Structure 1
Amino acid sequence: MTKKKSIFVWLCLIVLVIGLVFFFWIRNRNSHNIPVHAENATAVQVAMASQTDVPTILSALGTVTASQTISVTSLISGHLEQIYFKEGQYVQKGQLLAKIDTRPYEATLQQYQGQLAESQAQLTNAKLTLARYQRLYAQDSIAKQDLDTQTATTAQYEGAIQSAKGQIASAKLNIEYGRIVAPISGYIGIRNVDIGNLVTSSTTNIATITQTKPIAVTFSVPQTRLDEVVQPIRNGGKLIVKAYDQQGKTVLAQGEVGVISNEIDSTTGTVKLKAIFNNDDNKLFPNQFVNVKLQTGNLNNAIVVPTAAVQAGTSGQYVFVIDQTSTAHKVMVKTGPQTEDGKTVISSGLTAGQKVVTTGVDSLGNGSKVKIVKAKQVDLSVLDAASNKKSGHGPR
């Protein structure tokens, strides 16, 4: 290699090295020009504070109670002769439920009817004798004492007839009591006695009937909220009550407040209420525990945000508001009631249209820079494929 060629090669190598150094220098400088706040921005999800009408709700735990609960008993003593109902069936008022052996009472009835006939015959004879004594006394043929005695005898037989008639009516009533009928409409429970057993008067509970249409729910509200309940009802209004399942998600029935207790429970500081429900679909069952929500009024044009946006601190409740420069600001707020769709009323501290952080709050501080992101949509087909793969089932 000649000297000129050697110099040329070295120059090329030097240019190449300088070019590579310059390239990496430019690349490194551009990477360092990224704004610091963009690198440290916290990813959050936000929601808009909105304005709407919100119903004022009182929440409580309630117990379902039957409108009426009747123990089916016999008013006479005797052997259970027949049963005409199936356990658990719905029975109508006046429906025949059971039959008691009434033959002893029928025999007694015949006895009293015989006594009545005897007394009537004696009364007829006594009246004839009294009429004869009255004629003889008018002729001064008998003493006044004999006439008085016969008059008393006649009255005695009249009393015996009245007594016999009363005994006959009582015997007929006992025979009628042998037919046990449903005093109310409702579902009859488990039978407590079998055919052939001796049923005693007013002590043997044959079964129990519960009236579930309508049905009631009892619950209590704090005495501090009493005015919200008492005043509308005493002014002739109606307060709507909704009964939810134990998870508080599914509405079982809707009714209205029917009764307010006349006193405050001094041990709990609450007032007991009773709400009445039609229960046409039988979703409420006696002794069932339900979550109760009582609507006492409406807040017009209230500011609401998702409940997840409201945080609690040592100095009170607050939310993080995002301004137009993507900066989070801690704002103290006062809250009101919660709505059924998972939102909370903001009484003060916010205006409609402000953005509040709902997800990512734990990583924020006052003045933190944020990057607003949207919740990712999950492809259900991917989840199904993963589930099938895990269970060992492939596509069909």
Structure 2
Amino acid sequence: MNKKSMILLTALFLILATGCSKQQAARPPQEVAVKAMQVIQKDTPVTYEFVGEVVAKDEVPIKARVSGNIARKLVKGGDQVQIGQALFEIDRRQYLTTVADAQAQVAQSQAVLSNIRRDVNRYQQLADQGGIAIQSLDTSISQAEQAQAQVNAYQAKLDQAQNDLTDTLIVSPVNGRIGVGELSVGEYVVAGSTELATVSTVDPVQVRFSMSENEYLKFAKMGSSPDAWGQNLRLILSDGSEYPETGQLEQIDRGLANQTGTLAMKAAFSNPQQLLVPGMFARIIAIGENRTGALLVPQRAVQEMLGKTFVTVVDAENKAATRPVTVGPKVGSFQVVEEGLTAQDVVVVEGFAKVQPGTPLAVTLIGPDDLNIPVVK
């Protein structure tokens, strides 16, 4: 191929390439299919959510009142126990001996007292007849009083010995569930020191949660006292289901914790089916103020990047546009938008990750029912 032919071929190639570029430039960009939803505007009760932990209302450590070796374990860890139910038995042989000794001492002292009282009666008769000096009668009466005091002392020892014998049978002080103990039959326990087990009450239970300083101020500034928002609390379990019983705020700490700056609280929930057990985590839902004409978008439509929050909206030309927004509290599966949107805006709910600002959109309008997320009533 000569030089002239190569020049002609190169020119032809450039002409064809230029034509293709112009055709590509003239072709409109392809639309991206997305699902979008009209911003919802409605009067909305705002809810506040706190992470909580289920705790027993009362946890009672079980300790023996007497020392000795464990003779019997009458329950297993995890059993339901009733108040007064026997849990453990301490070896009672030494306490039976102590009771027998105390009974013998009481009987002996009572016999001594009985003899002295008979002497007092005889001396009284003789004194009335002038047969003995009054001093002898007084001495006999004093001996009777001493003997009576001895009887009382031995009787007190007997009462204590009998109480110790009774205390060898350790009973539950409350209704509840007993923990899994580590002590075995034969182990020695020390009175008032060794912890045999713990009994936790099961109905009602409490849910412990904390409120930040800003959240506390928010409630205080809107004039809502704990007596108002602390009633009819809802509980969302870890699997997302809602607990069927509502709760009431029972305890508020005296002040903010120094380390966390939060205010600790406890709410009580009845637990008739014993579904709630200590250690479970759940979310407390409290109803706050009612917002008139609140703007709501699905939480899944809200995007966060570099500390900023924004949504993708469908503009007047059916193209994607990024809109920075200021969000408020969550309401169920929706988010209150305080600034950045109007009730006329349409927000992209699904597919926004595939588009850039200015991308043409093939929009499918959907409603809350299509997303399987209910609007707060």
- TM (norm. structure 2) is 0.77
Indicate yes or no: 2:342 matched with 1:351: yes
After TM superposition, list the pairs within 5 Å mapping 1:297-316 onto structure 2: 297-312=289-304
Structure 1 counterpart of 2:253, from 257, 261, 267: 261
State the alpha-carbon separation in 1 of the partners of residues 243 and 27 from structure 2: 51
State the alpha-carbon separation in 1 of the partners of residues 280 and 305 from structure 2: 38
Gaps of 5+ in 1: 1-27, 376-396
Counterpart amino acid of residue 158 in structure 1: Q
Instruction: Between 327-336 and 212-221, report the one with greater CA deviation.
Output: 327-336
Match of 1:166 in 2: 156
> Cα distance 1:327–1:99, how it changes in 2: closer, same or farther (>3 A)?
closer
Counterpart amino acid of residue 331 in structure 2: T
Indicate yes or no: 2:271 matched with 1:276: no
Counterpart amino acid of residue 85 in structure 1: V
State the alpha-carbon separation in 2 of the partners of residues 73 and 318 from structure 1: 59
Match of 2:332 in 1: 340
After TM superposition, list the pairs within 5 Å mapping 1:187-202 onto structure 2: 187-202=177-192
Indicate yes or no: 2:94 matched with 1:83: no
Indicate yes or no: 2:60 matched with 1:61: no
The answer to whether the Cα contact below 8 Å between 2:312 and 2:321 also exists between their aligned partners in 1 is yes
State the alpha-carbon separation in 2 of the partners of residues 291 and 315 from structure 1: 25
Gaps of 5+ in 2: 1-18, 367-377
After TM superposition, list the pairs within 5 Å mapping 1:23-172 onto structure 2: 39=29, 41-172=31-162
Aligned residues: 341
Counterpart amino acid of residue 237 in structure 2: Y
Match of 2:12 in 1: none
How far apart are 1:216 and its partner, in Å? 1.9
> Cα distance 1:244–1:123, how it changes in 2: closer, same or farther (>3 A)?
same
Counterpart amino acid of residue 344 in structure 1: Q
State the alpha-carbon separation in 2 of the partners of residues 46 and 160 from structure 1: 95
> Cα distance 1:236–1:49, how it changes in 2: closer, same or farther (>3 A)?
closer
> Cα distance 1:42–1:196, how it changes in 2: closer, same or farther (>3 A)?
closer
How far apart are 1:48 and its partner, in Å? 0.9
How far apart are 1:40 and its partner, in Å? 5.7
Counterpart amino acid of residue 279 in structure 1: N
> Cα distance 1:212–1:142, how it changes in 2: closer, same or farther (>3 A)?
same
State the alpha-carbon separation in 1 of the partners of residues 274 and 191 from structure 2: 34
How far apart are 1:156 and its partner, in Å? 0.8
State the alpha-carbon separation in 2 of the partners of residues 334 and 37 from structure 1: 38
Match of 1:385 in 2: none
> Cα distance 1:308–1:101, how it changes in 2: closer, same or farther (>3 A)?
closer
Instruction: Between 300-309 and 151-160, report the one with greater CA deviation.
Output: 300-309
State the alpha-carbon separation in 1 of the partners of residues 27 and 343 from structure 2: 28
SS in 2 for 1:221: strand
State the alpha-carbon separation in 2 of the partners of residues 44 and 369 from structure 1: 10
> Cα distance 1:265–1:107, how it changes in 2: closer, same or farther (>3 A)?
same
Match of 2:225 in 1: 232
State the alpha-carbon separation in 2 of the partners of residues 162 and 73 from structure 1: 30
Tell me the percent identity: 28
Match of 1:384 in 2: none
Match of 1:10 in 2: none
State the alpha-carbon separation in 2 of the partners of residues 194 and 298 from structure 1: 58
Q: Deviations over 1:46-90 (max 9, x none)?
A: 111112344433333333322222232321123322222123222
Counterpart amino acid of residue 363 in structure 2: I
Question: Rg bigger for which structure?
Answer: 1
Q: Deviations over 1:157-200 (max 9, x none)?
A: 11122222222211221121122212222222223333333333
State the alpha-carbon separation in 2 of the partners of residues 368 and 81 from structure 1: 80
State the alpha-carbon separation in 1 of the partners of residues 31 and 166 from structure 2: 88
Q: Deviations over 1:295-329 (max 9, x none)?
A: 33443442101224334578964444435542555
SS in 1 for 2:259: coil
Instruction: Between 58-67 and 270-279, report the one with greater CA deviation.
Output: 58-67
Q: Deviations over 1:272-303 (max 9, x none)?
A: 11122223344433233444444334434421
Q: Deviations over 1:320-350 (max 9, x none)?
A: 4435542555545332112222x21122443
- TM (norm. structure 1) is 0.73
> Cα distance 1:41–1:99, how it changes in 2: closer, same or farther (>3 A)?
closer
Counterpart amino acid of residue 277 in structure 1: F
> Cα distance 1:327–1:205, how it changes in 2: closer, same or farther (>3 A)?
closer
> Cα distance 1:317–1:103, how it changes in 2: closer, same or farther (>3 A)?
closer
> Cα distance 1:311–1:180, how it changes in 2: closer, same or farther (>3 A)?
closer
State the alpha-carbon separation in 1 of the partners of residues 257 and 131 from structure 2: 85
The answer to whether the Cα contact below 8 Å between 1:303 and 1:345 also exists between their aligned partners in 2 is yes
State the alpha-carbon separation in 2 of the partners of residues 286 and 80 from structure 1: 28
State the alpha-carbon separation in 2 of the partners of residues 315 and 165 from structure 1: 79
